[in-house]
Chains A and B, each alone.
Chain A
Amino acid sequence: MSMAATRPARRFTLNRALPALTGLGTVVVFFLLMELAIRTNLLSQFIVPPPSEIIASFPRVIVEEHVLNRFMLTLGECLAAGVMLTVVGVSLGVLMQRFKLLQQACETWVAALASAPVVLCYPLFLVIFGRNAWTIIMMGFVAGLPPVILKTLEGITGVRRVLVNVGRSFKLTESQQFWKILFPAALPNIFVGIRLGLIFALINVVGVEFLINFGGLGQLINELAERYDLAGTYAAICFVVLVSVLFFMAVEKAERWLTRAE
């Protein structure tokens, strides 16, 4: 009886872990295939180092290249850009939804900015902010801003009419209507915008660090690449991936908390 009761629970845990295990397994298989392709000279090891070498270079990169400090610097820059683009982007999206003229005047420009290669403007940002972390943060911020604005606008505009009418039927004030109905109803869309914005911000933060040879992981990748330390370069790229993973986990947690908690 007790065995019968525990079995479904075990199966349930395994079912839950299965996607993560499959993902991890796919990465391991990919690395093994890469290792095999490089060892058999199908791929040149002067272009891609064998995964085993990348793994072996981790301790060296951590100790000698102070990767943790650089990791924290990039993480901090991304965090600053992320907070700014969330606060400013959501506010601008709300303002554009509130004032039709502003929306009609600016929506196309914001959409155009979303597809513009903002990273090419880094010399201008260097002139304005100097060769420091603010140039990097502002580049990430500007690059990530359009999707947050556009998805916030789309989210609030797309709130179902009936939910607005429920609010009206309960005689909600304008502020209550926004905070109790429009904003929570638009949150799933707003989070899509924040996720996209963070992707753009992270790419630009690391890209500008690389270009101006300043700051965190981007600079490290630049230096290791110039030294032709391929294994080290790829190990540093793994830390960039780690920043990305941490951010998405945090955003997912925030989304769950905000859309479920009341």
Chain B
Amino acid sequence: MNAPLQNPSDILVVDDVVVRFDTPEGAVTAVDHVSFGVRQGEFLSVIGPSGCGKSTLFNVIGGLLGHTSGTANVAGETINGPHPSIGMVFQEESTFPWRNVTDNVAFPLELIGMPKAQRIERARHFISLVGLDGFENRYPNELSGGMRQRVSLARTLASEPKILLMDEPFAALDEQTRLLLGDKVLQIQQQLKQTTLLITHNITEAVQMSDRILVMTYRPGKVKRIVDIDLPRPRTSDIVGSEAFGRYVAQIWADLREEASRGMRDEEKTMMGAKS
């Protein structure tokens, strides 16, 4: 609720951001005075129940959506549109079906005018990083959902962003694939020391990967609490079985349960209203 203290070394600073939408039923506040910072090399997750404004926040930080008040800065520059320091990975499948894996990953390199041979070599490096060696010439329709998300991740990483911003990238995948992809993301994040901001509603995923977790309230979305995850690194999905992991999951669920219940009651009320 209150703005948490921000560190001067934060690479991303969200300060008192409010997002309000005009609807036929009146103004709706999606994000309400949200403030937090992301440190260099940190993995921060934003977690909250459905409808808490997580994706709105993702779009604001990514520069795809304007905000009503407050400021968002990356590397000292105000975000008022898509910023080259921020690389986005979307929830929906976002590979280009008309390009093969190499050409998908080389897309941002093509935009900066990198010579073809060089960008193919660079793209292959990122394809290898996400574990898709041997699939360079395949088209997205020849890949599984998890592989396509890895192509999207490699494409974003190829633009070498200062901050990797991900909106529930594994939401559409089954639990086992999600855990394994979580491992992959962790491995890449640790290898590249990539500052990462993950938007998710999955507690296990958030605890498995994060240094800190920001818990949001149900509508209007505010910062409820920021939890430090003091689990050893390097981490893998093996951590899921540990006692400390279970404690963090329980602790965050205790925070989220109240918010999720509020969301459910609100939804039921809306449905009843629509019926009558």
Contact = CB atoms under 8 A, between A and B. Distances in A.
Interface of A: 160, 162-163, 165-166, 168-172, 176, 180-181, 184-185, 187, 259-260, 262
The secondary structure that dominates the B interface is: loop
Interface stretch (B70-78, B86-94, B123-131, B255-263): B86-94
Interface stretch (B12-20, B31-39, B96-104): B96-104
B221 interface: no
B111 A169 contact: no
Contacts of A162: 90, 92-94
Interface of B: 62-64, 81-82, 84, 86-88, 90, 92-94, 96-100, 103, 107-108, 111, 139, 159
B200 to A, nearest CB: 17
Nearest to B104: A262
A162 B93 CA distance: 8
20 contacts: A160-B92, A165-B88, A165-B94, A166-B96, A168-B63, A169-B62, A169-B64, A170-B107, A170-B111, A171-B81, A171-B84, A172-B111, A176-B111, A181-B96, A184-B96, A184-B98, A259-B98, A260-B98, A262-B98, A262-B100
Nearest to B112: A170
Contacts of A187: 98
A259 B92 CA distance: 22
Contacts of A168: 63-64, 82
Given A172-B111, A262-B99, A262-B103, A166 B94 contact: yes
Contacts of B111: 170, 172, 176
A172 B64 CA distance: 13
The 7 closest A-B pairs by CB, nearest first: A162-B92, A169-B88, A184-B98, A162-B94, A262-B103, A166-B94, A171-B82
Contacts of B90: 162, 165-166
A170 B82 CA distance: 7
Nearest to B139: A260
A172 B84 CA distance: 11
A19 to B, nearest CB: 21
Contacts of A160: 92
B82 A185 contact: no
Contacts of A163: 94, 96
A184 B97 CA distance: 9
A180 B84 CA distance: 18
